[in-house]
Chains A and B, each alone.
Chain A
């Protein structure tokens, strides 16, 4: 077995500030990796660089043996539609607001090649159920749903094509605590059932402990510590990781 996605020596500057300063990471099939760190540490930038949404100044990204940075725009889009999923912090960035809830799910299936209308509707309904949304509301527009429900809809849209690797950027950010908890339970359940590899960017240490097998700690564009999730949290080595862990109330 080999790594599903592997990045080496990623560097990127926004003006004078280094956003990524020599980052190397890998993720294996079925592995949930949390990237933690404060705002501006480069964790979201890392996610965008890994998924090819921005191009790093230096470094390589390989997915299942393919050089992601050398892919054409069409090739990258094909990966995004089939093998990968991307869950944005703000559901409205990942959904099409002018399209019905069911259409949002079905649309991605169509983009991946499915053409039979009946089965698209059926699969969309099934996926709404899987993310605990009422499938009888599939013809309603996303704006009729609450923030937490929109986020679940985005997850359904993302997983309907059964990707192998999902990028999640603060998927519970901005939601009520009780809604966050349900969403985390759902993500955990689906990742396990589907054997998904997940890159999860979060500043929520408790969420990282709950979901992740492995944790990367980022600061100022560098990975300052990484390893087994429970070891990074219970036996943190780097001063910044110790600060991060000590700042959490009973995680």
Chain B
């Protein structure tokens, strides 16, 4: 077994300065390990912090404490403490991410967006076709696409470059049954080549087919002392 990612002691909260500095703790002492070839599904009630955890693992959110060690170029590096330049390098080579919604550079055609993620042009085209995105859309910027079509561009950007580690935030949320099947296939293939995947899957059927185990994220309850006050 090869350890790909090990998060420990993660703490993350938000201080909302525009709302009188109210402070929202979300994660406390979160720990998680990911091995090559496995898929870990984050579970837990809505609002428990699954997406926050995923964003901390992706570097989009900075953590308040803890480490995210991940295997990059053969060595374990602390991603949570990495300089912006190293974060960019790791995202380009090691750590893929499929967000819930496509957020990309406007005015760039769908095919180019996939190529820019690091995929050969023909492979990008083939992947978009596999995701049932018709050829006539490949040359158009996704701004006018439906939610499902945009999400399939997003999926092609995530699955195209064969990242060793993939983070998936509800990858099938806006997809029909046929495309959901394609995504299940892509996840199983990624696992087979040794990729490690951490995902949030609201679709239980998809989750049961791809996940090797569940990692429960629980909301931080108010402490009894706070309740008494």
Contacts and interface: CB of A to CB of B under 8 A. Distances in A.
Contacts of B88: 213, 228
B105 A227 contact: no
B61 A231 contact: yes
Contacts of A242: 16-18
Nearest to B88: A213
A61 to B, nearest CB: 20
A231 B88 CA distance: 12
B185 interface: no
Contacts of B139: none
9 contacts: A181-B107, A188-B105, A227-B62, A227-B84, A228-B88, A234-B61, A238-B17, A242-B17, A246-B18
Nearest to B63: A235
A188 B85 CA distance: 18
Contacts, number: 42
A110 B15 CA distance: 55
A243 B19 CA distance: 11
B144 interface: no
Interface of A: 28, 31, 181, 185, 188, 210, 213-214, 227-228, 230-231, 234-235, 237-239, 242-243, 246
B60 A235 contact: yes
Interface residues of B, number: 17
A243 B18 contact: yes
Contacts of B85: 28, 31, 213
Contact of A210 (B16, B59, B105): B105
A185 B61 contact: no
B74 interface: no
B110 to A, nearest CB: 16
B113 to A, nearest CB: 13
A231 B18 contact: no
Nearest to B16: A242
B222 interface: no
Contact of B106 (A181, A214, A239, A246): A181
Contacts of B62: 227, 231, 235, 237
Interface in B1-48: 14-18
B77 interface: no
Max chain B Cβ within 10 angstroms of own Cβ: one of A210, A230, A246 = A230
A102 to B, nearest CB: 28
A234 B60 contact: yes
Given A228-B59, A234-B61, A237-B62, 6 more contacts: A31-B85, A181-B106, A228-B87, A230-B60, A231-B62, A246-B18
Given A188-B105, A210-B105, A213-B84, A239 B59 contact: no
Nearest to A227: B84
Nearest to A182: B107
Given A213-B84, A213-B88, A242-B17, A231 B60 contact: yes
Contacts of B107: 181, 185
Contact of A228 (B17, B18, B84): B84
Given A181-B106, A227-B84, A235 B18 contact: no
A235 B61 CA distance: 6
10 closest A-B pairs by CB: A239-B17, A228-B84, A235-B61, A214-B84, A242-B17, A234-B60, A230-B60, A228-B87, A242-B18, A231-B62
A210 B55 CA distance: 19
A249 to B, nearest CB: 14
A230 B61 CA distance: 9
